[in-house]
Amino acid sequence: MQPYLEAHGLSKRFGSLHAVDGVELVVHPGEVVGFLGPNGAGKSTTMKLITGFLEPDAGSVQVCGYDMLADPLRAKRDLGYLPEGAPGYPDMAVVDFLRFLGEIRGMERGELAQRLDYVVEVVHLGGVLRQRIETLSKGFRRRVGIAAALLHDPKLLILDEPTDGLDPNQKHEIRGLTLELAKEKAVLLSTHILEEVGAVCSRAVIINRGRVVFDGTAHELEERAPKGVPAPLDVVFREITTSDVAELSGSQR
């Protein structure tokens, strides 16, 4: 089956900083890929390159077979993106913001009403629909961002820290929703929470200093830890991302 995301040789410089350096990333339907790395590793920049918010200095991105540089509007039809911070128009009510997004995407009135009902239910926004976004807690603003990413029923979801700011119960709900969505979609999920890798991810990709240094399953990652150590994922993550020379490990996809 054709991958929903293919990123090859992605590179991006900001002056002397090589933020992303030859990143290869492929995600198939049915996969939840955890995208990990320390602060400043290049995660958010890579996601902005994948989603077309930034143009790469080198490399290519295809979403469901459509090239992000050559045909960006078509590629973005199949893409749902939750960016860092879940930005929205602060003076708009939640329902008006979501309806506005659907309209500018060209969704028909009946389809928009149906999808709006769906995302409000699955992300549990019913109690705040008439509130202005600026009055919401960080957790609810995050939920609005997830609803916005899901509204047009994309095949590929790019989620940058989707559980940031949520309480433990809300995190559990979002993880369950992610697993449910992955039955029909492909999900690339950036997170700092290593337990999410084991809970929801079929694969883990670790980036450090702009390069992919691990691509494999959570089990393969855990197997690298010494036997019997507590929090083996934490131990291996620190080893991979603090070594002077990080080598690609795990499976290549």
Q: Where in the chain is the domain with CATH 3.40.50.300?
A: 5-78+155-250
For residue 225, the model assigns a pLDDT of 82
Whether the per-residue pLDDT at 246 is higher than 60: the answer is: no
Q: pLDDT tens for residues 102-143? A: 999 999 999 999 999 999 998 889 999 999 999 998 888 988
Cα dihedral: 142, 41, 80, 135 (round 10): 20
Mean pLDDT of the 59-86 span:
93
Determine the 3-state secondary structure of 67 from DSSP. Answer: strand
Whether the per-residue pLDDT at 249 is higher than 70: the answer is: no
- 12 secondary structure, DSSP code: E
Higher pLDDT: 71 or 175? It is 71
Mean pLDDT of the 166-194 span:
87
Whether the per-residue pLDDT at 248 is higher than 80: the answer is: no
List Cβ neighbours of 164 (8 Å cut-off, separation of 6 or more). Answer: 138, 142
Most confident of 127-136, 168-177, 240-249: 127-136
| Residue 71 CA: distances (Å) to CA of 159, 178, 192 | 22, 28, 32
Q: pLDDT tens for residues 194-219? A: 888 888 999 999 999 999 999 998 88
Whether the per-residue pLDDT at 71 is higher than 90: the answer is: yes
Determine the 3-state secondary structure of 203 from DSSP. Answer: strand
DSSP per-residue codes, 147-195:
HHHHTT--SEEEEESTTTT--HHHHHHHHHHHHHHTTTSEEEEE-S-TH
Mean pLDDT of the 167-189 span:
88
Q: What's the token pair of residue 176?
A: 């369950």
Q: Which of 55, 58, 81 is nearest to 68 (CA)?
A: 55
Q: Do residues 41 and 22 touch, judged by C-beta distance below 8 A?
A: no
Q: By mean pLDDT, which of 22-26, 45-49, 243-247 is the weakest?
A: 243-247
28: burial class by Cβ within 10 Å (0-12, 13-18, 19+)?
A: middle
- 93 secondary structure, DSSP code: B
For residue 250, the model assigns a pLDDT of 45
Mean pLDDT of the 55-64 span:
97
How many other C-beta atoms can be found within 10 angstroms of the C-beta atom of residue 237? 24
> In the block, which residue shows the tokens 């930005």?
87
Q: State the Cα angle at 37 between 204 and 59, rounded to 5°.
A: 80
List Cβ neighbours of 39 (8 Å cut-off, separation of 6 or more). Answer: none
Side-by-side strand order, sheet with 66-67: 17-27, 5-14, 58-63, 66-67
Q: What's the token pair of residue 117?
A: 């009902």
Q: pLDDT tens for residues 141-152? A: 988 999 999 999
Side-by-side strand order, sheet with 156-160: 79-82, 156-160, 186-190, 32-36, 203-208, 211-216, 249-250
For residue 134, the model assigns a pLDDT of 94
The letter for the amino acid at 229 is V
Mean pLDDT score of the chain? 90
Q: What's the pLDDT band for 243 if we cut at 50, 70, 90?
A: low
Q: By mean pLDDT, which of 32-41, 118-127, 169-178 is the weakest?
A: 169-178
5-78+155-250: CATH topology is Rossmann fold (3.40.50)
For residue 162, the model assigns a pLDDT of 86
Higher pLDDT: 112 or 169? It is 112
CA 35 to chain centre: 8
